[in-house]
């Protein structure tokens, strides 16, 4: 006998995600689910985005990790509210985890929540967290072939950040090949070239996001 566990898990996840989406909309909070590999620069990009947007918007961050609270501490050190979720081994966040995390946030006061998902290019793509957009980061050292190997995440992303572009001179990363692979999977998606730790290219990405937050 074969029991399909994935379908019921996804159905429950989607139901809670719909409730969350409604709550976010009622409170005019724009929510980003940020997907990427470990070490690609998610936390660095979040910190750079906070710098760019904190004068205009009230921001909070939800940090998803298998263990530890080091990323939440990095965010809190900037005076920004951060909630750490430890999945205890799970490779992605689910909507009920986000539901518990937002209990400690003052949604009414917030304009933007960025959720740093668990570092992984596969598992998080299937899970709706009630977000407005899924955004993914690929960093240059990971290689230009990743859209070929992990097409799912490149298809669900509504914006893609190519991070660590400052390292292009030392890696064999073919930007043109990468761009055309991405465009084959997701023709309309914008690709932002960023060096998060240097603040390069952050302005264009932050403006794209700011436009959407203002509309929410
Ligand atoms: N050269 C360079 N290093 C970066 C950049 N962004 C992040 N890093 C480094 O990459 C490592 C992982 O960054 P982090 O933001 O913690 O990645 P996360 O695991 O995806 O959250 C750290 O050592 C960062 O300093 C970048 O734009 N350029
Ligand atoms: Mg991180």
To test the ligand 1 pocket, which listed residue (197, 199, 205) has its Cβ within 8 A of the most ligand atoms? Answer: 197
Q: What is the pLDDT of residues 61-76, one digit of tens each?
A: 999 999 999 999 999 9
Residue 177: which pLDDT band, with cuts at 50, 70 and 90?
very high
What's residue 39's pLDDT? 98
Q: Whose CA is nearest to atom 6 of ligand 1?
A: 41
Copy the structure tokens of residue 53. Answer: 């947007």
Average of per-residue pLDDT values in the chain: 97
Could you list the residue range(s) of the whole structural domain that residue 202 is in?
Answer: 6-215
pTM for the complete prediction? 0.96
Q: Considering only CA atoms, which residue is closest to atom 7 of ligand 1?
A: 41
Domain annotation covers residue 1: no
Q: Is residue 184 part of a domain?
A: yes
**Dist CA 47 CA 60 (whole Å):** 11
The whole-angstrom separation of Cα 180 and Cα 187 is 9
Q: Is 54 exposed, middle or buried (0-12, 13-18, 19+ CB in 10 A)?
A: middle
What φ, ψ does residue 203 adopt, rounded to 5°?
-60, -45
CATH number of the domain that 111 lies in? 3.40.50.300
Evaluate if residue 50 carries a pLDDT over 80.
yes
131: CA distance to ligand 1 center in Å?
A: 24
Q: What is the mean pLDDT of residues 41-49?
A: 98
Number of domains in the chain: 1
H or E element: which one contains 85? strand 81-86
Half-sphere exposure in the Cβ direction for 11 (13 Å, CA)? 5
């Amino acid at each position: 006998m074969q029991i399909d566990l994935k379908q019921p898990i996804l159905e429950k996840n989607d139901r809670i995600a719909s409730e969350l989406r409604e709550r976010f909309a009622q409170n005019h909070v724009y929510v980003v689910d940020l997907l990427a590999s470990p070490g690609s620069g998610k936390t660095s990009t979040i910190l750079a985005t906070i710098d760019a947007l904190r004068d205009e918007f009230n921001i909070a961050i939800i940090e998803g990790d298998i263990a530890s609270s080091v990323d939440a501490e990095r965010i809190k050190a900037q005076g920004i509210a951060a909630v750490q979720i430890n999945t205890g081994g799970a490779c992605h966040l689910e909507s009920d985890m986000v539901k518990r995390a937002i209990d400690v946030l003052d949604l009414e006061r917030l304009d933007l929540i960025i959720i740093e998902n668990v570092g992984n290019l596969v598992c998080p793509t299937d899970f709706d967290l009630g977000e407005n957009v899924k955004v993914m980061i690929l960093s240059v050292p990971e290689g230009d072939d990743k859209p070929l190997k992990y097409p799912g995440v490149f298809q669900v992303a509504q914006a893609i950040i190519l991070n660590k572009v400052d390292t292009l001179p030392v890696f064999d990363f073919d930007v043109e090949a990468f761009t055309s692979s991405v465009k084959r999977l997701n023709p309309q998606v914008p690709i932002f070239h960023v060096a998060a730790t240097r603040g390069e290219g952050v302005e264009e990405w932050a403006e794209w996001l700011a436009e959407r937050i203002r509309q929410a």
